[in-house]
Amino acid sequence: MRKLLLSLFLIVPFTYASYGTIEPLLLPIEQVNKVLFSSFAMPLIATWGITIFGFISLLMSVKSLITKNEYKSAMKSFYISLLLGFIVGISVNYANYYLVIKPNNMIECPKKIGYKKNLMRDYVKDISQCEKF
Give pTM, 2 decimals.
0.81
Q: What is the pLDDT along the chain (133 residues), one digit of tens a residue?
A: 777 787 788 888 999 989 999 999 999 988 999 898 988 888 899 999 989 988 888 888 788 778 877 766 677 888 888 899 999 999 999 999 999 999 999 999 876 655 556 678 889 998 888 865 4
Dihedral angle of Cα 55, 29, 125, 41, to the nearest 10 degrees: 30
| Residue 124 buriedness (CB in 10 A; 0-12 / 13-18 / 19+) | buried
- 7 burial (CB, 10 Å; 0-12 / 13-18 / 19+) is buried
